[in-house]
Amino acid sequence: MSAPPSMLRRLQERAQPLIKRAETFVRDFEWTWTKAVVAALVLWIIGITGMMVIPSYWLYLADQKLSWRATGCGHSDTVCFWLGAAGSAAKAKAGRWAVIADA
């Protein structure tokens, strides 16, 4: 299903002034230090915002929509993680001391 040729022609005619204006702007644009600083700040803000929004949204998506939750120690996921890490560290330390005591 393609658009009829007359419709494409009308679309090209309507877009022609916008395309001409954009081409003129790009051709005549000059970078000054002020424009460069403003552009850098805008890109920096977009980058920092992206670094905040994307991980936050991913955490929401994984937790709420995909149901990727830690299985239960009865606390929040963060507490369960740190309790597990502390238990692993305690076991490793106990194992190391047991090896030293046997020597």
pLDDT at 19: 94
b vs e for 14-27, b when ≥16 Cβ sit within 10 Å of the residue's Cβ?
Answer: eeeeeeeeeeeeee
pLDDT in tens, 43-102: 999 999 999 999 888 888 887 887 776 555 655 556 666 666 666 666 666 655 544 544
Count of Cβ atoms closer than 10 Å to residue 94 Cβ:
10
50's tokens: 């992206």
pLDDT at 14: 93
User: pTM for the whole thing?
Assistant: 0.44
Q: Decide: 81 and 70 in contact? Cβ < 8 Å.
A: yes
Q: Mean of the pLDDT values across residues 17-27?
A: 93
